[in-house]
A and B are shown apart, each in its own frame.
Chain A
């Protein structure tokens, strides 16, 4: 008749036996109630076994009396159990096997704000206008419990109409009674909403406390309400000495207005994000902080203060200042460099012009001397004068080249699409007209355009082609090619010849101003042509390089950006 039920040690508060109705058929065993019942029932059994026919009447009478005792005991036990149920603080509900409510503890009514008449006999899911139709509860009752007679700490979160959002921990027992008797389900409900909230709060508090950023709160009057560890470290104030003090304690004098402005913003419900400002530590030193300030609200939603997260950005500010100083320094240096560059250009320009004047005198008076006095000179004397004049001409050429080089640096770039073919053809025509006796084949690609300064590109092409023309001069026939190719997505132009070429070990000297790989007797020139080419290419953001082999020719490659 009895079903003994294991008492879960940690959940002693849950009733281990199930009352079905007020007429309580089963009494589970709370310690003292169980013991009493056991003894009486044993007596009843003994008594029944001893019945004889003779003693029927008396026996029956006795039985009746005994049964009354038993009934009384059973009633007492039932009442005891009911009292027990009503005494338990946690809501308790007993269901029959159809999940209809059989018995509900007083605390259940109180907690869920329901009345007995709308509860007992109802399907649990229908309680409180079907508010109890909770998927997780269905899962527990219909899936989990039939397989497992007991289930503890089943967490259900639900938003109830009357009592709001609750997190509940359910302990469920399915109590199988003797065969033929109905199954009883007992549900004990623990409200852990507050505990959960507290846990969450504790977690938040731990996060705030462990944060590397200073986090503190203030009310609308600006009084500091909370102060974390990082705030202590950042500002040098301990929580106990700053709590209740006005927030402006942390502001430098020039920032007090900003401080009040922020409080006004907070009152309007506005956030302040990444506001970078200086603050004052307890010791008076300054700290650069980035502030994120958000309004805080009370339970009714009214703004009651602000939370402040302050990040120490002193290092970053320092780095920024350094960077700024460096940028400024660089700018100053660049300006100085530009000035001195301009001065240098102006100087070289004026020197070049000024050098031409005495040169003109030397040449002019040598010529005058020769014309007026050559009769008094012997051959050698005339020869000397000729050499002076030749040197004058060479110097004049050098000066011209220097001027050209400086002009290329100073001239303003006027970029546009330039037809290199047209330029090359007219340059080639010029050479062939000047030296019609030479046999040179010009191979020029059908179409090459480049984005650049037409005048500068013309000078550059002139120098490259002239170079090729000059260094093929000692060969009976020559071939000069202007072409274009691709190298890793970059357009590369080239001028190739099959002339004197050069030794690759001197390749780095090719483009230096006044650098020559041949004597003037071998090939004329001042050594400025390729330097001009390089300057023009670099003014276009490009590169120039060369490949060559002695007596096999040279190829000059260039790119224009």
Chain B
């Protein structure tokens, strides 16, 4: 079985670097698949476009999903993931700048497992990433893989 890995859907290079740095600093060395917009995320999860032929059985321990994304936004990605038998149980954590009531509500209604607002200071940001990594990679027991025909 493939080692547990993370998916980070994030368009800002700075945030990608800071997230990766925070993971590394907290000794979380699992592989991180970085997807830079909504379309790429959908291609990845449904093995289309440049991800055609990807092994769909490989599911991440958690998806860290930004809401504000170019082309297809994070909420739309979440909706499509939840509508698909194979991806509907993957834990999704929304990691975003906004904590607007409307965004949080939409996130939960579409079936996110957690909603985290990115802190501005690196200490807090790092702490948040550490907690997420530890929780979803170590503490959380993932659901058994759905059997697909």
- CB neighbours (8 Å) of A392 from chain B are 120-121
A361 interface neighbour in B18, B98, B100, Cβ under 8 Å? B18
B118 interface neighbour in A349, A356, A367, A368, Cβ under 8 Å? A356
Whole-angstrom distance from the CB of B23 to the nearest CB of chain A?
13
Q: Is A374 an interface residue (CB 8 A)?
A: no
- CB neighbours (8 Å) of A353 from chain B are 68, 97-98, 100
- CB neighbours (8 Å) of A366 from chain B are 122
Q: Is B85 an interface residue (CB 8 A)?
A: no
Question: Which residues of chain B (1-39) have a CB below 8 Å from chain A?
Answer: 12, 14-15, 18, 21
Contacts A349-B100, A356-B97; A364 near B12 (Cβ below 8 A):
no
- CB neighbours (8 Å) of B118 from chain A are 356, 360
Contacts A357-B12, A359-B120; A364 near B125 (Cβ below 8 A):
yes
A361 engages B97 (CB within 8 Å): no
B15 engages A389 (CB within 8 Å): no
Q: Is B141 an interface residue (CB 8 A)?
A: no
A368 engages B121 (CB within 8 Å): no
A368 engages B97 (CB within 8 Å): no
- Nearest residue (CB) in B for A367 is B122
A-B contact count (CB 8 A): 54
> What CA separation (Å) do A540 and B65 show in the bound complex?
38
A363 interface neighbour in B21, B97, B98, B122, Cβ under 8 Å? B122
> What CA separation (Å) do A453 and B120 show in the bound complex?
30
- CB neighbours (8 Å) of B18 from chain A are 360-361, 364-365, 368
> What CA separation (Å) do A356 and B119 show in the bound complex?
8
- CB neighbours (8 Å) of A368 from chain B are 18, 21, 122
B100 engages A389 (CB within 8 Å): no
- Nearest residue (CB) in B for A412 is B101
Question: Which residues of chain B (105-143) have a CB below 8 Å from chain A?
Answer: 118-123, 125
> What CA separation (Å) do A392 and B18 show in the bound complex?
16
Contacts A354-B97, A357-B97; A363 near B14 (Cβ below 8 A):
no
Whole-angstrom distance from the CB of B21 to the nearest CB of chain A?
6
A364 interface neighbour in B98, B101, B122, Cβ under 8 Å? B122
Contacts A360-B15, A364-B18; A389 near B97 (Cβ below 8 A):
no
> What CA separation (Å) do A76 and B101 show in the bound complex?
125
B14 engages A361 (CB within 8 Å): yes
Q: Is A396 an interface residue (CB 8 A)?
A: yes
- Nearest residue (CB) in A for B22 is A364
Whole-angstrom distance from the CB of B99 to the nearest CB of chain A?
8
Whole-angstrom distance from the CB of A368 to the nearest CB of chain B?
6
A396 engages B120 (CB within 8 Å): yes
- CB neighbours (8 Å) of A356 from chain B are 97, 118, 120
Q: Is A393 an interface residue (CB 8 A)?
A: yes
> What CA separation (Å) do A28 and B147 show in the bound complex?
143
A363 engages B100 (CB within 8 Å): no
The digit string for B59-74, where 1 denotes a CB below 8 A from any CB of A, is 0000000001000000
Contacts A353-B97, A356-B97, A356-B118; A367 near B14 (Cβ below 8 A):
no
- Nearest residue (CB) in B for A356 is B97
Whole-angstrom distance from the CB of B132 to the nearest CB of chain A?
16
Kindly list 4 other residue pairs between chains A and B, CB separation below 8 angstroms, not including A366-B122, A393-B121.
A359-B120, A364-B21, A364-B122, A411-B101
Q: Which residues of B contact A (CB under 8 A)?
A: 12, 14-15, 18, 21, 68, 97-98, 100-101, 118-123, 125
Ordered by A's residue number, 18 sampled pairs between the chains whose C-beta atoms are within 8 Å are A353-B98, A354-B97, A356-B97, A357-B15, A357-B97, A360-B15, A360-B119, A360-B120, A361-B18, A363-B121, A363-B122, A364-B14, A364-B18, A365-B14, A367-B123, A392-B121, A396-B120, A407-B100
